[in-house]
Amino acid sequence: MRIVIAGGHGRIALRLERLLSAAGHEPVGLVRRPEQAEDLREAGAEPVVLDLESASVAEVAEALRGADAAVFAAGAGPGSGADRKDTVDRAAAVLFADAAERAGVRRFVVVSSMGADAGHPGDEVFDAYLRAKGAADDEIRSRPALDWTVLRPGALTDDAGKGTVRLGAATGRGPVPRDDVAATIAELLETPATAGLTLELVAGSTPLSVAVKDVAGN
């Protein structure tokens, strides 16, 4: 499969690109800065320099043309303010979905966040982040032209992945290594019967492939 990943230089995305490339897929990563391209090449991905905060739907659709799947893994990141939570975590996700529809790419996986909720209260930046993520999820889940899966990981860590997780509609809070998030996304892409599901993900004791198969079609 040819899989286009928004936020291609992110810590989850780079892990995912390595996994997809090793499995024989063709990952394509959208990055904001040209100097990030070499890291993607080293991960086995084709870099495309495209800033989702300024690009048009037509430009993003061109990057998605011919893809079998799209993954939204972009984020404003630590240290960004509430405004960029909206422009990246919400608006860029909606733009990417618009472009996927225009390009005819149905399979669409969103890396969201546990607790994402468009109505989340609070005035802190993290509250704005959860609202932005929730609003983006709501928008994408409303689109019948997309075979979407929304993945909501718990607290992300850089611990080595264990290959075992807890995955379901409601898992309870907990940490999860980025390695295992990336591996779960790769499994979701291989499992089209997970379309239409919003799933929480934390560390657990179930092998990844089994966890994904257990939720598929539910």
Cβ proximity of 200 and 169 under 8 Å: yes
SS3 198: strand
In the set 72, 96, 108, 129, the catalytic residue is 129
Number of Cβ atoms within 10 Å of the Cβ of 72: 29
Q: Can you tell me which residue has the tokens 């959208």?
A: 30
Residue type, 158: D
Cβ proximity of 61 and 46 under 8 Å: no
Q: For residue 129, indicate whether it is catalytic.
A: yes
E strand map for the chain: 2-6, 26-31, 46-49, 69-72, 107-111, 147-153, 155-157, 164-168, 175-177, 197-203, 206-207
What is d(CA 188, CA 210) in angstroms, rounded to the nearest whole number? 11
Q: Can you tell me which residue has the tokens 């997309």?
A: 146
Active site residues: 129
